[in-house]
Amino acid sequence: MDLKNISLHLKQSIMDEHASTLSLSPWAIAGFLDICRRSLYGYITQANEQLGTDSEAYISTTELEKIDSVFRELSDNFFPMAHSNMPLRELQIVNKSEFERIQSNLAHMEDINHAFNQISKELGESIQCLINP
């Protein structure tokens, strides 16, 4: 694909998304990251053809694959990282171990609350037996 077509495709992709960046869903962002990945790959390939392998600006196949793999990883894994289809502005990355610790403490509090309610019920019944023998 030549530079003009790469740019037109990228420009069209940007124009297709009328929402602000923070309003995009993780699916839309992942799709856009993939378009950017393919566009960057195309730009580099075209630049390499014009530069030639003897140019210091030439990006080797290994370097190009590294760049491509970073963008592929981002686009392939953006949605699973977000675990949501909410707009980006409503998402936040949290520490998983801290979240699990809080979740465990809440479950422990529920157990304590259940035991407290049971003891309270038994005390109420005991008081009723004392008042009305």
Regarding whether 24 and 75 lie in a shared domain, the answer is yes
Regarding whether 74 and 16 lie in a shared domain, the answer is yes
Regarding whether 59 and 30 lie in a shared domain, the answer is yes
- Whole-model pTM over 0.95: no
Regarding whether 79 and 104 lie in a shared domain, the answer is no
In the predicted structure, residue 82 carries a pLDDT above the cut 70: no
Q: What is the mean pLDDT of residues 112-123?
A: 95
Q: What is the mean pLDDT of residues 80-100?
A: 73
Residue 33 in contact with residue 77, Cβ under 8 Å? Answer: no
Give the residue numbers spanning the domain of 85. Answer: 1-91
Angle at alpha carbon of residue 56, lines to 55 and 59, rounded to 5°: 90
The model's pLDDT over 3-13, given as tens digits with 9 standing for 90+, comes to: 888 888 888 87
